[in-house]
Structure 1
Amino acid sequence: MGGRRQFHGAKELFLSDHYDVQSAHTIEGKCIVHTFKNYTKLENVGAEDYFCRFEYKAATGGFTPDRVAVYCKCEMPYNPDDLMVQCDGCKDWFHPNCLRMSIEEAKKVENFLCSDCSSDDDGKHSHNSAVEPKRRKK
């Protein structure tokens, strides 16, 4: 894996077995580190809220887990910073950009069928009311 990736959230931290000594003067404040699952369930994410879904082993340079679920046509893991829309047919999640849809358009979608499901169901693709951003992992 090695380092920060596109799907890592801005508030994502890595649990590690590496320890270091720091001056108390470098501490800016206290934060709350949630599990990934609990973070995605938060109604309001505060400035002190962060999350962790990976553990880094300094001795081996490896991450646990070494695999995560992927979504969308781009097959990227979920980033809670990015809006996603859910297909009413297959229940998979998609980035608006990957669907050639603006964020504004995506927020107005009431019922959404991905291209695979809409070809099965001949266009129940409606753009009427708002959807919430993806806030939970499958």
Structure 2
Amino acid sequence: MREHTTQLRVRYDECDPMGLVHHSRYLQYFEIGRTELLRASGGRYRSMEEAGQFVVVVRVDCRYRSSAKYDDLIDIHTRIAKVTAAKIIHDYSITRDGTALVEATVTLGVIDRDGKLQRVPEELQKLYANTV
């Protein structure tokens, strides 16, 4: 699976005193999106971690277009943009009722328990093979 959409209702504790989603929360929304994409594709981060492979964020490029507010129902659109032997790149679009709120690209790497860079596991390359 190359794309997945997850719906989420903005919770009160995710907002700043103005009632707007704090900018840092979008990184958590991206994590939710990529975890659900992997799950929908038949993979599990837990299995990778048990095998000693950990996915880490190495780059985030984020553009904020409009604000989400408390109790909004938002869609987190997650798409695999590219997979190589060394990295996985996800594109995100967070929308509310079709209105673009945030667009981002996140690059991930894989490390072992000692923090040494590893190849992207074959299982992930196979799950996302049609995106290379």
Q: Which has the higher contact order (CA 8 A, sep 6+)?
A: 2
TM-score above 0.5, yes or no: no
TM-score category by the smaller chain? Answer: under 0.3
> TM-score, with normalisation over the residues of structure 2?
0.23
> TM-score, with normalisation over the residues of structure 1?
0.22
